[in-house]
Structure 1
Amino acid sequence: MNVTGLLNFNKPGGITSHHAVNMLRRIFQTRQVGHTGTLDPMARGVLPILIGSAVKASEWLVAENKTYVAGLKLGLTADTEDTTGTILTTSHDIPSFEQVLEVANSFLGTYHQIPPLYSAIKVKGKKLYEYAREGKQIERESRPVEIYSLSVQPGDTPADYILTVSCSKGTFIRTLCADIGKKLGCGGVMSCLLRTAAGKCRIEDSYTLEDLEKLKAENNLSSALQPPEELFADAPDIQLEPFYARLAKNGAEIYISKARLPDFPLGQQVRMFDEHGVFFAVGETLPYENGKAVKVRKFFA
């Protein structure tokens, strides 16, 4: 089976993102499978999966923004910052909805977030959760993240709320819940998490394991994949004549004036097609001594 492209996968709860990748390797019968943007085991929802040569696009997809629906439970703190961890403190002094809304809105925009100790971020070549499992505390530097939008709805009890968050890459929603609880003075943990969007991948268009097993039985798995070139749909196209396509495939820069290409601005990414209309690379317009030229940034064929 020769398949390549982006899979908008709907990860179930209870498995790691790595486990999801292994399951998809079995379904698609290839080891060339990778995910962009880890989801914790308790989290469900959109997990973009790259298959075949599309794995080379991971650097672009990792940087995309995310949207989540999360449960916030006030009156608790935990070592993992969610309800799966060890409860450290409890409080019955639960603030009003108006207070919760005011504090939550204070996190809109850019704020500096300290990554949770139970996370896969590496410090000194070692993942943070490995230090945590050894009972070691290690200093964690705060990182700027951006909260683009945040809505708050009351939950089933006065201590429970539903947050809908649109944010930048690298944002930990459980840490946001903990930070809101800390600022309120009562503590807070994340009780559930659903990722509804990652870049252009939306949950309403995603595929579950059951969907994929059905497509496999119908010998139609490729229908679940977006071709690699669609990952760069916002970039203009160039189709090269055989001579220039051969040069580009050999790593040479293609001068805009000589190949009669549009006068792209410096830094412009382009989708590169050969004379047969086959997508083979993403290129970038760069300055050279003899003028502007397009050079391959990443090959996909």
Structure 2
Amino acid sequence: MIHGILNVRKEKGYTSHDVVAKIRGITHQKKIGHTGTLDPDAVGVLPVCLGRATRLCDLITDRDKTYETVLLLGRATDTQDTSGQTIRMGDTSHLTEDEVREAVMGFVGDYDQIPPMYSALKVNGRKLYELAREGKEVVRKARQVQLLGIELLKIQLPRVHMRVTCSKGTYIRTLCHDIGDKLGCGGCMEELVRIRVGRFLLEDSVTLDTLAEKYKEGCLGKLLLPMDGMFKEYPGLTVGGRWDSLAKNGNPLPGHAFLDASDPRGWKDGKAQEHPEYVRIYDEKGQFIAVCRWQKEEYRIVKMFYISGE
């Protein structure tokens, strides 16, 4: 089984589930998961986890994301993008670039956003987009998201080109809709490219066709980020002896359980340093076991990646 993370460049027309299905067909492996839905018309970065790396899906989904989008002012739609039915047209002839800039930048920071009806969120066990296709609309509670930054790339009214960095759960379609409402003319999203998810960048992503070619050549591994690559900022430590089996069974570990040193704090200028809060632990063969956290004078498992027999 293949274990690791692929930085996939989702192309237009595919759903995120389509991408997973395609990779299952390419690799002949079922245990695969994606890390955050992209609309079929959107393109860009979609990290996909394979094998034991599926345990990282939630962690990657939680990371900040960066998008480049085109807001079309003067038109509001039921889907909040240009693929939907027009529900309102508005006049943009009176707008100035300064007015648009002020409205857009007013959304930076914490932002209470009402999820769109055409989304995969569930209400009473049903996805909102299923209800929307039946002509039903339900009350949705606003959720606080955070816009960490908005860069106005070009204002060419009625279009506004933006780069948005945001927290998880942010709908860029809804941001475009809300900016249009704030300006009084309506607005919808015309284009969307996700250029970053955490450490995964668009320029490093690969298409499904490239993945298929590399798999046939037997070198798909060159495109995989190993599981421990997500935690490179944490020190790596090796367990041995009786601590090996204890670690692989999820038991807490004392500071002296590691072969790297009698104590993983290390020394600097003749003084012992504090235990690192998080560490990566490995067995003597270099196999990644888990991420641990120092709590109550011992290292405790945060996320286990070792599975016996695999």
TM-score, structure 2 as length reference: 0.90
Return the letter of the residue paired with 1:262: P
Distance 2:188 2:212 in 1: 35
Do the aligned partners of 1:238 and 1:261 also contact (CA within 8 Å) in 2?
Answer: no
Distance 1:216 1:293 in 2: 42
Distance 1:170 1:136 in 2: 23
State the match for 2:106 in structure 1: 106
State the match for 1:134 in structure 2: 134
Structure 1 moving runs of 4+ over 3 Å:
257-261, 263-267
Distance 1:213 1:258 in 2: 43
Distance 2:112 2:63 in 1: 19
Return the letter of the residue paired with 2:142: S
Report which stretch shifted further, 199-208 or 274-283.
274-283
Counterpart of 2:246 in 1: which secondary structure? helix
Do the aligned partners of 1:266 and 1:286 also contact (CA within 8 Å) in 2?
Answer: no
Return the letter of the residue paired with 2:82: T
Counterpart of 2:66 in 1: which secondary structure? strand
Counterpart of 1:262 in 2: which secondary structure? coil
1:203-218 aligned within 5 A: 203-218=202-217
Change in Cα spacing, 1:265 to 1:89, as seen in structure 2 (3 Å) is: farther
State the match for 2:270 in structure 1: none
Distance 1:209 1:149 in 2: 31
Q: How far apart are 1:265 and its partner, in Å? A: 6.6
Counterpart of 1:254 in 2: which secondary structure? coil
Q: How far apart are 1:275 and its partner, in Å? A: 1.9
1:36-51 aligned within 5 A: 36-51=35-50
TM-score, structure 1 as length reference: 0.93
1:11 aligns with 2:2: no
Do the aligned partners of 1:74 and 1:181 also contact (CA within 8 Å) in 2?
Answer: yes
Do the aligned partners of 2:152 and 2:161 also contact (CA within 8 Å) in 1?
Answer: yes
Q: Calculate percent identity across the aligned residue pairs.
A: 39
Coordinate RMSD, CA, aligned? 1.8
Structure 2 alignment gaps of length 5 or more: 266-272
1:1-301 aligned within 5 A: 2-94=1-93, 95-154=95-154, 158-256=157-255, 260-263=262-265, 268-287=277-296, 292-301=297-306
Return the letter of the residue paired with 2:78: D
Distance 1:129 1:160 in 2: 27
Q: How far apart are 1:267 and its partner, in Å? A: 9.2
Do the aligned partners of 2:70 and 2:162 also contact (CA within 8 Å) in 1?
Answer: yes
Name the count of aligned residue pairs. 295
Distance 2:126 2:69 in 1: 28
